[in-house]
A and B are shown apart, each in its own frame.
Chain A
Amino acid sequence: ETGVTQTPRHLVMGMTNKKSLKCEQHLGHNAMYWYKQSAKKPLELMFVYSLEERVENNSVPSRFSPECPNSSHLFLHLHTLQPEDSALYLCASSQDLVGVRIYNEQFFGPGTRLTVL
């Protein structure tokens, strides 16, 4: 138990569906992240939020829409996805975004296994 929870754990959706992934952290952290993990590829950073403000969007298609209503919650809204978007989506949080020469450990949630049919 890392203090970061994600729901749902598994999601199957059609290409025309709209769904949302939820992440919640109970660690009092200020920074939250969305990653995509595909087979045989490195974890891909998608979005970074610091104090509820999006600070990074790594060229992610607009069919993925993040939302961070407060520092404890992070959502990823999905619409008109493609089969190649099937992957494990991981949420992470860290104390702060600025390292100040000491890395602030990222704590990962268990992920949502997404399958797009």
Chain B
Amino acid sequence: GQQLNQSPQSMFIQEGEDVSMNCTSSSIFNTWLWYKQDPGEGPVLLIALYKAGELTSNGRLTAQFGITRKDSFLNISASIPSDVGIYFCAGQPSYNTDKLIFGTGTRLQVFP
């Protein structure tokens, strides 16, 4: 079946540093999404990407839909303590359904 390989699995960074994480797949996806999950909560959508090559920002977050449609990355600039959480990439394999394939997540820890 389709799988998403997300890396790194975890990151420990200092407040103010920039963060980069990515997802790759052997399959093509029509939409790429990035979610964040805080402890004890469900995932919340951060950024949605709809076209190959698209670069989208949401505050300090920037994400790109890879040209090959098989990868995506998420950057967080000038990290702050509330950025702590688990970040998931997800891909929509078909336009005919809202079903998603999720990555394994990147756990981010920010130290003051």
Contact = CB atoms under 8 A, between A and B. Distances in A.
Contacts of A99: 30-31, 92, 94-98
B67 interface: no
A92 B96 contact: no
**Interface range, A side:** 20 to 34
B44 interface: yes
B95 A111 contact: no
Nearest to A113: B40
Given A43-B102, A97-B97, A105 B92 contact: no
B58 to A, nearest CB: 13
A41 B97 contact: no
Interface majority SS (helix, strand, loop, mixed), chain B: loop
Contact of B99 (A4, A56, A107): A56
Contacts of B101: 42
A23 B26 CA distance: 34
B97 A98 contact: yes
Interface majority SS (helix, strand, loop, mixed), chain A: loop
B46 to A, nearest CB: 11
Contacts, number: 67
Contact of B50 (A2, A103, A107): A103
B100 A98 contact: no
B102 A31 contact: no
A60 interface: no
Interface string A77-115: 000000000000010101011111111111111110000
Interface of A: 2, 4, 31, 40-43, 45, 48, 56, 90, 92, 94, 96-111
Interface of B: 3-4, 30-31, 33, 40-45, 48, 50, 88, 92, 94-105
Given A99-B96, A106-B98, 11 more contacts: A31-B98, A42-B88, A56-B99, A94-B98, A99-B30, A99-B94, A102-B50, A103-B48, A105-B45, A110-B40, A111-B42
